[in-house]
Structure 1
């Protein structure tokens, strides 16, 4: 028995691969293009482990995907591979359409052909699990109920539009062709190996370097925060017990404004890595908001709890402390990913927002 994971060198994907192999001996075939956000250093602990087969390649390469399916005969595909940064989608939407829409289409077609050739229990047990985001639902008002699985889609950025399109493709391939799919829509993940363009790792890296902590607008945008290993356990639950064709929202029950996230990070950094120049709060800088910035996301995760018995194990307080401790202990990893291209991106995105 084997599973195929796409995007397994990225933030959530690599955490999933590591978590999977900590818990069982079922091999993982890991397909990742190794773009800027894919990092083999995330998987260094698996070097020489025969249970982990890494393949560098593009999910848009139909021939490669078909070869992996026929060679390794996986019982499931777990599809993480995606362009995922809203700001990057605003500056360059084309790559998001290619990877998130065309790539998902290519995977679905290859999976359909492979699944159609299976027989008996192998065919009945096959699953295509699609990992998506709460951003497909749009933005909530302060008093609105959290997103449930029945919310209408209302994406507001090129990123969320591309993920919404991929969700619809997965649904259509199930209803039209019978492909046994499941989908999960998660809230904001955080934890180890998070590329430092996203809020939490960016704030940690900038604070330790004595750089400004850029806060979009008034900093009162609200997100639900999910520790990454909790997300991994939710996906395992969906693979094991989820109903074919169903969507499961996965959240951390941790709604917080961005500015409160930054203040929590500052408190931990002041405690664990104090600066000789005083509290890191001195570095907070408010910058021009990004275009179309959604005001609030929140996930109603009662369905996955009710049907599959899943709840997050971490509170925000325990998860964020683990996260800060990991970054403090892995400064070399951070330095290695902060390449010239990364610095150019920061300059492009933030330099004109002061």
Structure 2
């Protein structure tokens, strides 16, 4: 039996593709930690994607990093003791990832890490801490890029697998289907930029104020599906009403996966701090401004269609950046889920 542990929206997208393939050969159960608990961040993914309803829902919710990770670890351990799986799969770099990994290895259960080997080389980032600890505790390392595999080799972790990116599998399968979804906020005759923002350092008061000022200064029409963390920060720092007063900026509720794909396809530029949106921009060949100091996905920067920006350079880049993005199959050929299943069949059966 394999247990897949999910907790945040990127996990749901990847698990939807991987679970379908795994269940051709394995008995799989899903544990949902409840790290994301808002309907638009969670339940809509189970409704729209071929993702089985979770077998266990831990209902952890939002709290400090330590409290959240500790509570997840305790509740995951209780379930693992009960069902005794032969393998636990974890995804990405969230607190759910680390908690699932620690609960498993302390019980002697092998862990497979999907999206292994990513490094931003910023040790203060919570995501970096989670991914490094998970990599060094896992048995199986499924790397989305060759760079990720090389990162592990430099750290003395050998035997990792370059499988390609499961997110690319999902994009390849769903992006055409997504076009059927209607987005009322899109006016066909007007081009727009799409912005997403959720990382903790971008929602600190000083930096967030600089970002909002840059958006106001820009001449572009912008659509912003606002993450709950960002909405809370914008309202706390009296920036929400200010943004609502500008006609070129449209703040909307978080959207589901298909709706996000539609927005990405229709946008003429994407501004984000999300690794997932960064890659989807690359898949769609859209110019992308990455609101970060560094990225664990350096491949997308190498062809000239994406660039790192700061709040100070954002307004200028929004109005002047217009490359013609190129494409290279850094992320495999859209067969990552099958490769992961193949690796596990060779080693578990």
TM-score of the pair, normalised by structure 1: 0.39
TM value normalised by structure 2? 0.39
